[in-house]
Structure 1
């Protein structure tokens, strides 16, 4: 006779495992008849569970351009639409949402000319103004506080980052005190709306030693405070993300190295109030992480851990060296999630046609061709900076010619973490339940309107975190129905995990 307890266990497993194996759903798809050759498009998630679609359309000579903004609700039904008339050579650079507005920066062929656009997310009302920013020739990032712009740009003379404050009300542009050394750069820029403050995290170095500096600014650009966090003797602080909070509650979550300032050997957390990351802060080497080396084959991982453990006992520096591209911190009810992409530059031999790629000449006659990813990592911390779990997402055949984020990261309402990226007509994803590593490949094909339709080609695919458990996948596709000719569309698929 089979025990009742055994039958109950089997019953619950039968119920539970289909849930674990359940694939994401695609409840709705939107197709827009955009001309691939004449249209640039961006999809932006808004705080009210809606989507904002920006697109520009031009004629053959690019002499007449129309700039469109359309809002769609969570069912991808249109809410409102509007257009603006700005310089035909305007190019979308960045956006930032400070409810109820979304702000855009457009650049022009004249690298000192920029147009700032303010869009009311509720009504669709648009305002825009053109500015000449003499100090910069590129925009890297920006945030908005009380309608004031804080812009990280490239100093056109010294070729290093700088921070500008721009007041649309007065039209005044001021250079804010920020980066000093030639090897210094910005690590994070955060607008803390609850405390009406902008925090800039600077990574400063002279090539041998490094430190982090946190500068806090009022909405009008005035400096509120500066705090320095120095390195320990054998650990060099490299980059960090900052949390919102009052003066005593802010934390830094970042990376450190031991020798070469280009490479990371681990992660650290510390209060902003600390002057040196010592007993107040915490360091976690790659060896301390349960899953960091899981992207390797089991034997490679075992050899790496064994070799590095011996070096650690001997007091030697680690031999492993990683480059990390940090993502913005993701807040949780009990702390934060820090995600990063692990990458390395790819090189080819010098000479020959460069195919128009933006490459950097390096030593030894080699040309940098791009940045290849090995894996993405997610770390969960409590609010005091204690590491709770870590997990990874192995990445295959991902190369970008610019160092930009390729993986979208989102925390689900049930606490799971989803990492995803588009690959042609598929979405490659990984659902993380704290530190439980899943070696199984997980992917899904994007659905069309009809089951018997076939996606012939996908161009410029993208994916963003939307709201709740939903992401939005988008791009251009050529779709062939069962009967009749193919169509080219700009698609948006809602994906719910």
Structure 2
């Protein structure tokens, strides 16, 4: 593979003097030229203060017949190269998904002409790689992939029924987890519990009152327990589990009031173990708390004041006659974020967006065309370790339409303050909150290029954002950039920007600009 050049840029942000406020500034940028002759995909994995892992795939898509080449590149927190490794897979192997846990990155491949699969395990410390191969059930589709210790869990569907397989890295054995292969059942998620070395498979039934079940398996793949939440009154749609300590976990998600995929609110319950390690399942089911959206103080803040008033007035009129107002929100619930006092839950509200178009073919008719997922807002809730709701807040999402349903809003904790941010069209939109309070209203920060004022971004897509470490974020995506100095000159790049948040700035700060080319990292 040809040697690639990277540019590291310390960007000029200027002299800042004025009132105390919060500010997101761009400190570093890395650019990689995008190939014009072969397909490429890029994946960024933040490694906290250990740096960042960049995975580049070239070729090996479902549309061509070339073998996929994967290059893994690690950079430190200053975006300086540390090491890189490269592998060329079999021509018949296609990448499916990846998972990162602890010090390892796991890349899952499957063959297009058989039921074989392969997992490449990459050490994020030194770049050492191991390969493990096994066999799937014939014609199994893959939807979920998690790793716990020395076992991988692959979830999906076989003949329309859910199936989860465990794969041992020690002896390459494959086992099917019992009790999941049934009609009218869907997998909500697979949650791994590092504390207790258990795997929780969350499933829900599309019939029988939309029963929601948490099935827990031990490291030996045997069923330990099954918690069944009957959907007669409220049906649980999704769930995320966060271990609070060795003896207690919190189950949090969204629920429906009428056995539909539309959310009425969120729920929380405690899953507790006694001194002998036995879980009190009846208490978890009995003590579940349902929190209607109208009970959240700030959920509707994405609406204009008059719209909020009308919405809440309708909900209150229903309550006065002993009925509940039926909300019709679709939610994407993130993994739960641990805090010193409990956890933070983040969820994004979206709806499928259709665009009307007119076709002329002898006659004129109108048709709706699916256009992607339109995001409206995100809401954040803080809970204590007992599952008590402490606060909630809201971030409006403007102009985000995505072909794929994925997490857009990212959260970073800075002391007792929370930073909410999402990318859109080459800029980062941020808001700073403190519990129920909004300390800084939403504002947009445009991503700078390597040449600042002499560059003009003509196109930006696949913008992503993740919290990195301390007060830093990583933003990445694809851009087409035209030079103002050389008319007609345009470059297409994959970029990674390091962004830093500073709160309560009081002293003048001057940043200077400098550029340099990095050396080739060691193999």
Instruction: Give the TM interval when normalised to the shorter protein.
Output: 0.7 to 0.9
- Distance, in Å, in 2 between the alignment partners of 1:433 and 1:264 is 26
- Distance, in Å, in 2 between the alignment partners of 1:416 and 1:189 is 31
Post-superposition offset of 1:94: 2.4
Gap change, CA 1:373 and 1:118, over 3 Å in 2: same
Of 282, 300, 303 in structure 2, the residue corresponding to residue 275 of structure 1 is 282
- Distance, in Å, in 2 between the alignment partners of 1:278 and 1:128 is 42
Of 471, 474, 491 in structure 2, the residue corresponding to residue 487 of structure 1 is 491
Q: Does structure 2 conserve the Cα–Cα contact (< 8 Å) formed by 1:181 and 1:205?
A: no
Answer with 266-275 or 283-292: which moved more: 266-275
SS in 1 for 2:211: strand
**Would you say 1:134 and 2:141 are equivalent positions?**
no
Q: What is the RMSD computed on CA atoms of the aligned residues?
A: 3.0
Of 334, 340, 344 in structure 1, the residue corresponding to residue 341 of structure 2 is 334
- Distance, in Å, in 1 between the alignment partners of 2:177 and 2:357 is 40
Hey, what does 1:378 align to over in structure 2?
Answer: 380
Hey, what does 2:23 align to over in structure 1?
Answer: 23
Hey, what does 2:459 align to over in structure 1?
Answer: 457
Gap change, CA 1:50 and 1:82, over 3 Å in 2: same
Post-superposition offset of 1:154: 2.6
Gap change, CA 1:456 and 1:299, over 3 Å in 2: same
- Distance, in Å, in 1 between the alignment partners of 2:462 and 2:398 is 18
**Would you say 1:144 and 2:151 are equivalent positions?**
no
Number of residue-to-residue matches in the alignment: 467
Post-superposition offset of 1:258: 1.5
Answer with 257-266 or 214-223: which moved more: 214-223
Hey, what does 1:388 align to over in structure 2?
Answer: 390
Gap change, CA 1:226 and 1:77, over 3 Å in 2: same
Answer with 329-338 or 51-60: which moved more: 51-60
Q: Does structure 2 conserve the Cα–Cα contact (< 8 Å) formed by 1:187 and 1:241?
A: no
Post-superposition offset of 1:270: 1.0
Hey, what does 2:504 align to over in structure 1?
Answer: none
Q: Does structure 2 conserve the Cα–Cα contact (< 8 Å) formed by 1:84 and 1:126?
A: no
Answer with 417-426 or 78-87: which moved more: 417-426
Answer with 24-33 or 187-196: which moved more: 187-196
Post-superposition offset of 1:384: 0.8
SS in 2 for 1:69: strand
Hey, what does 2:35 align to over in structure 1?
Answer: 35
Post-superposition offset of 1:19: 3.3
Hey, what does 2:445 align to over in structure 1?
Answer: 444
Question: What CA deviation, in whole Å up to 9, does each residue of 1:310-360 have, x standing for no partner?
Answer: 10121123132211111100110001111111122234569969xxxxxxx
Post-superposition offset of 1:144: 1.0
The higher-RCO structure (CA 8 Å, 6+ apart) is: 2
SS in 2 for 1:419: strand
Post-superposition offset of 1:382: 0.6
Hey, what does 1:418 align to over in structure 2?
Answer: 419
Q: Show the 5 A alignment for 1:126-205.
A: 126-155=129-158, 157-158=159-160, 160-179=161-180, 182-205=183-206
Q: Does structure 1 conserve the Cα–Cα contact (< 8 Å) formed by 2:74 and 2:83?
A: yes
Gap change, CA 1:110 and 1:324, over 3 Å in 2: farther
Gap change, CA 1:298 and 1:472, over 3 Å in 2: same
- Distance, in Å, in 1 between the alignment partners of 2:133 and 2:358 is 42
TM-score of the superposition, structure 2-length normalised? 0.81
Structure 2 alignment gaps of length 5 or more = 1-15, 272-279, 361-366, 502-523
Q: Does structure 1 conserve the Cα–Cα contact (< 8 Å) formed by 2:330 and 2:351?
A: yes
Q: Show the 5 A alignment for 1:84-123.
A: 84-88=87-91, 90-110=93-113, 112-123=115-126
- Distance, in Å, in 1 between the alignment partners of 2:230 and 2:134 is 38
Hey, what does 1:6 align to over in structure 2?
Answer: none
Q: Does structure 2 conserve the Cα–Cα contact (< 8 Å) formed by 1:338 and 1:379?
A: yes
Hey, what does 1:305 align to over in structure 2?
Answer: 312
Gap change, CA 1:315 and 1:112, over 3 Å in 2: farther
SS in 2 for 1:447: coil
Q: Does structure 2 conserve the Cα–Cα contact (< 8 Å) formed by 1:181 and 1:204?
A: no
Post-superposition offset of 1:37: 5.2
Hey, what does 2:237 align to over in structure 1?
Answer: 238
- Distance, in Å, in 1 between the alignment partners of 2:443 and 2:180 is 43
- Distance, in Å, in 2 between the alignment partners of 1:107 and 1:334 is 42
Gap change, CA 1:434 and 1:70, over 3 Å in 2: same
SS in 1 for 2:238: strand
Hey, what does 1:70 align to over in structure 2?
Answer: 73
Question: What CA deviation, in whole Å up to 9, does each residue of 1:270-293 have, x standing for no partner?
Answer: 123343767623221111101111
Structure 1 alignment gaps of length 5 or more = 1-14, 354-364
